[in-house]
Chain A
């Protein structure tokens, strides 16, 4: 009866993590169907423990300063602020149904999309004061920002549209139809890439002209797309024909396909470029190494959704990906990758595996100033 051993497991958690002799990366998996978070040893690929949460955890994001993992418990109406290095919970905040959440690139706003109540909420990231709330016609699903943090774009699953919300004016400035049942959405080089669950297509939406074109095709039930930290590839998922597609980030051409059964949902990357994917219908996490196509599985709780890889390597931080070229794409695209701090190694870039695949020359790494690393949202200061 492992369930009954939980309180003890919780008490000993911090100690056991600190006592781990070899510092393997730690992976957190949010089991939405089981009110728990699985903590996985990335090297041994075993579950170290399960942390109880209130009801239903779906997504996790890092605070803009990279110090804290924020986990949304949509059924329990709370945000959990966790130290990703130790698994210690620093504080909790009561907030209405935080299903999908994301910070703006400048770190000023926290945006929550709630599918269940057809609303999008804009909070002040530091104080968690609600500054605006929008009703949306039907099922706001995923959100992505523009790199200048002026706009947030939301897929509306029920109506097949994308809505653009102006964060400074606090109003929806336009909505455009994009196709059947849009799900995932990311910013990628001046465009929005959107997965259409009702088709095999990812479309590209130009936010200036609002023109929608086919970006690339995967298979039936296109779902979400994630930029790899190295900036060379995007990885797109589909659900009905379950799999993951490696997409060239420059040309948006499909490079190769990996069959992954079980409905891959969220993807996190480890510093070696491996993909950690939650398999929503299978109660498992798949670990895919795109360099050789090998795949491994770890059993977790029911309906795993959000996932986060915490590197535990010398000098590497939770937000290691933010200093890498891929940081300019995604839900929270940075204007440019952050500069590495002194003594911080760049994560290992996996070499391109496909002969003849176009290689992206990484752009210059310029950081204006780390203006948002000292914001009021620093959770340590709040305690």
Chain B
């Protein structure tokens, strides 16, 4: 069944590529991009599947036990646009085109320096024969670095000026996951790129695992009154756990629950809150109006302005303090 499905899926990707993309590349004189284009067709299709799976899982849960019962769809539209631009490859593709030459130059400079990025399989040879396990180890390591990136987003004023867009949503839903400024996306790519220089890139051949991760990250933003129980809350980031991070007080003041997938990092670094009854209202009361109600373009523009203000020391909305234990 799975084989059959993945075969049909590949045939669809091939059909799109051969009937629409490749002839277009040929007439535009861009055939040297054919292989990359094929990869992007795959990215787009996989993105569609992921969005559909996320929707099929998260939407019923939101309908079942909403935190906010009557969410106005108008507030969610911007987040849907964020999701589609990111997940269907529009913004990543633009990034790829803009940074392609720089990336090749950097890769060449790194080769010249003699540094060959190692990978985790070299440190733990057993992982060579069990690629899915290697993938899981990568996920844990990357999640650790993502925890710290998220901490820094809340630590440095200029970074908070960008990340505040993510927190400004007062009507959080599973669509909110991708609500990030494009500069923030670029910073994330650079952050993970730097990590790849140290530990290599994770294996990419596990669509099921990647989809599970996507569902988990979207679900953590869902408008649903769900926690994973006493033990589960400590193992995986739940809608309850991450909502607390998005709480009106959390964004500006207390600074809790930074983890993306595994709450263990918050527990280790003393930023965890496991109070299972708290489902606070979300939003950032100090965010500029454009962050709260603006459309995608307005938020992007305002984001640039706010970063400049922050760098000039003229932004009053300051990042969170890390609490001294409560």
Q: Is the CB of A280 within 8 A of B201?
A: no
Within 8 A of A (CB), among B34-84: 34-35, 38, 42
Q: Is the CB of B107 within 8 A of A198?
A: no
Distance of A334 from chain B, by nearest CB (Å)? 30
Q: Is the CB of A97 within 8 A of B22?
A: no
CA distance A361 to B201 in the complex (A): 52
Interface string of B12-35 (1 = CB under 8 A from A): 011001100011001001011011
Q: Select which of B17, B31, B32, B103 is within 8 A of A281 by beta carbon.
A: B17
A116-B104, A116-B107, A197-B32 known; A262 and B26 CB under 8 Å?
A: no
Interface string of B118-149 (1 = CB under 8 A from A): 11011000001111100000000000000000
Q: Is the CB of A3 within 8 A of B132?
A: yes
A33-B205, A97-B107, A280-B38 known; A52 and B18 CB under 8 Å?
A: no
Q: Is the CB of A35 within 8 A of B130?
A: no
A118-B104, A283-B7 known; A221 and B31 CB under 8 Å?
A: yes
Q: Does B295 contact A (CB under 8 A)?
A: no
Q: Does B187 contact A (CB under 8 A)?
A: no
- Choose the segment among B108-116, B170-178, B273-281 that binds chain A (4+ C-beta atoms closer than 8 Å): B108-116
Q: Is the CB of A239 within 8 A of B34?
A: yes
A7-B129, A180-B31, A281-B17 known; A35 and B204 CB under 8 Å?
A: yes
Distance of A112 from chain B, by nearest CB (Å)? 10
In chain B, what residue has the closest Cβ to A119? B108
Residues of B within 8 A of A96 (CB): 110-111, 116
Distance of A177 from chain B, by nearest CB (Å)? 14
A35-B203, A283-B7 known; A119 and B18 CB under 8 Å?
A: no
Within 8 A of B (CB), among A89-117: 94-97, 114, 116-117
Q: Does B95 contact A (CB under 8 A)?
A: no
Interface size class of B (residues with CB under 8 A): 35 or more
A116-B107, A135-B108 known; A54 and B22 CB under 8 Å?
A: no
Distance of A79 from chain B, by nearest CB (Å)? 12
CA distance A121 to B107 in the complex (A): 14
Q: Select which of A52, A116, A197 is within 8 A of B34 by beta carbon.
A: A197
**Residues of A within 8 Å of B, CB-based: how many?**
50
CA distance A35 to B22 in the complex (A): 24
A96-B116, A282-B14 known; A52 and B111 CB under 8 Å?
A: no
Q: Is the CB of A262 within 8 A of B14?
A: yes
Distance of B187 from chain A, by nearest CB (Å)? 23
Q: Select which of B103, B122, B132, B205 is within 8 A of A36 by beta carbon.
A: B205
- Interface residues, chain A, CB within 8 Å of chain B? 3-4, 6-7, 10, 33-36, 52, 54-55, 75-77, 94-97, 114, 116-119, 121, 133, 135, 139, 141, 157-158, 180-181, 197-198, 220-221, 239-240, 242, 261-263, 280-283, 299, 302-303
